[in-house]
Structure 1
């Protein structure tokens, strides 16, 4: 889509939602019909969403979901909840659930999402359960669940028999940490650690530890992550090593000892590589002597150590810049 059209859509989304206008005719082919205001109801907007999700372009689908979110803020909660209870199409339910969650956040009323949490745990269709979970993405969902009494929580949802639901749990927490709190929220990060410990799916646990920020976690969470270094699954051990590289300053010494021991004792190359990355992040430029002391433990890994030392010689102060330079050296 042309950039001008993207800007135009952004400016007209709220107006269209409030007036309940049909989707912009500029997105369709054929003669342009005049836009006429209509009574805005949940049902009429869901008809547009349903049709757009079946045959619309990705741009149109994004627009319709945004329009529904904007309109939901002014719609009666009871009407949204009733529509959610009736909805069986996973894609439509996800859009409707996101709109309800937006209203709950805007109204500072987490109880509004109770029907959504009920679908996430109680629906017989795993696709619907996964859609209900995904609809909470990039929302303060950990807070929502806690304020609803913790009856439904991510530790429970991550044990769902459906891989789709378990993946949705991990993606929600990764997105919430990064997009809602920019990695600074202790509760979300510690929830990710607890959910990883509760998961019977090593891939999901590895995603949580490898991608959720650990910069705000406390000692108990660090101890939980450290236990994962003894997992039978190499992916999970590697992700735990990556997570330990991002712990707060007060936990650095313990994390460093654990990573050195891991590097010396674990024979998996990916785990050793992650341990080196964790050590480099914990010390950055000050990690040089420690990394040099690990030469010869595994000759095949010495080039990895050399790459870190070369990157550190540039005295880059930002971790992301240091990591990017090291990755450039080891392409």
Structure 2
């Protein structure tokens, strides 16, 4: 069974146990408070609860009804869920319903279930609905879903949407999928993020994708795409590309290191130079000391940053997160 499916099944089992322990929260407080009543489990009934909770319920209640819908959807007929999705126009309710459908698709190993959701994400006339449909795919194997549905809808298409809300949802999805579903180890997700960053006309979205999605499994073509972003007009994007290059696989580290050294010497933006130093340190770890030492004096204002890295590297820490934390402590 697919590792992602196993993970989702375990989450579903845990969710089921938790839901049995949770009482139905009140829709409001005070004398007029109402609670959710036990009833026959139907898509329409559960969506009524979701709609009411989203309109006037507490954050706790809203989380509860969404989780309950996800759990119930595992046993509900797919046809009922798809029919409800086709009718739904409220973005918040559609997002909750789409998330339940996506979870069902993962557990059933049936990516075709999300085809209508992908169609809403790419073709609905309401940008809020398009964004909600994209968000409904968050923390699922959505890149795999798109591929198995023929690549008709992809993130590098969605990231060019005219709506900033849709573009932001694309970046959030890929960041979450890389971290929460695959712990940064999936090549297809990382390369989808690189492709989306290259397609994005919004530099902030591209910067988020490169700066926050793991690059540890990408192939040579993706490394080349990231390297090209070092010449981007936007300095935040250049800095994120430098950060991304610091995390590429070992086979690409030599070329990435040369690119980062050249960037440090030629780019006068302090944030970009700081990111280049971080990338150099990450690529080489303790072996980065000679390269960092050779960069002293290129920009005197950045020399304290170099010294902080050299001090941190002298501790011979083997884990990148520990090294980064120590360096940050030195430069508070």
* 1:200 aligned residue: 201
> Pairwise mapping of residues 142-181 of structure 1 onto structure 2 (< 5 A)?
142-181=143-182
The structure-2 alpha-carbon separation of the partners of 1:95 and 1:34, relative to structure 1 and needing over 3 Å to count, comes to closer
Secondary structure of 2:290's partner? helix
Q: How far is the alpha carbon of 1:53 from its aligned partner?
A: 0.9
Partner of 1:286: 287
Give me the CA root mean square deviation: 2.1
1:132 Cα shift? Answer: 0.3
TM-score relative to the length of structure 1: 0.92
Deviations 1:246-279 (A, max 9, x none): 0001001000000000000001100000000000
| Rounded Cα–Cα distance in structure 1 between residues aligned with 2:210 and 2:328 | 20
Aligned residue runs from structure 1 range 177-326, under 5 A: 177-326=178-327
Give yes or no for contact 2:226–2:241 (8 Å, CA) kept in 1.
yes
In structure 2, the residue matched to 1:3 is: none
Please name the residue that 2:124 is paired with: 123
Structure 1 alignment gaps of length 5 or more:
1-7, 17-21
Aligned length: 319
Q: What is the CA-CA distance between 1:9 and the residue it aligns to?
A: 8.6
Whether the 8 Å contact between 1:307 and 1:330 is mirrored in structure 2 is: yes
| Structure 2: distance between partners of 1:196 and 1:113 | 24
Gaps of 5+ in 2: 1-13
Give the corresponding residue for 2:6: none
| CA deviation after TM superposition for structure 1 residue 11, in Å | 3.3
Q: Distance in 2 between matches of 1:310 and 1:26?
A: 55
Q: How far is 1:24 from its partner?
A: 4.2
Please show how residues 79-98 of structure 1 align to structure 2 within 5 Å. 79-98=80-99
Q: Is the 8 A contact 2:26 2:57 kept in 1?
A: no
- Any conservation in 2 of the 1:217–1:247 contact (CA below 8 Å)? yes
Counterpart-to-counterpart distance in 2, 1:28 and 1:133? 33
Deviations 1:190-228 (A, max 9, x none): 111111111111111110000000000011110110011
Q: Which of 15, 19, 31 lines up with 1:13 in the alignment? A: 19
CA-CA distance at 1:23 after TM superposition:
2.7
TM-score, normalised via structure 2 length? 0.92
Post-superposition CA distance 1:49-80 (Å, at most 9, x none)? 11111111111111110000000011111111
For the 8 Å contact 1:14–1:71, the answer to whether it is kept is no
Q: Show structure 1 runs of 4+ deviating over 3 A.
A: 8-12, 24-37
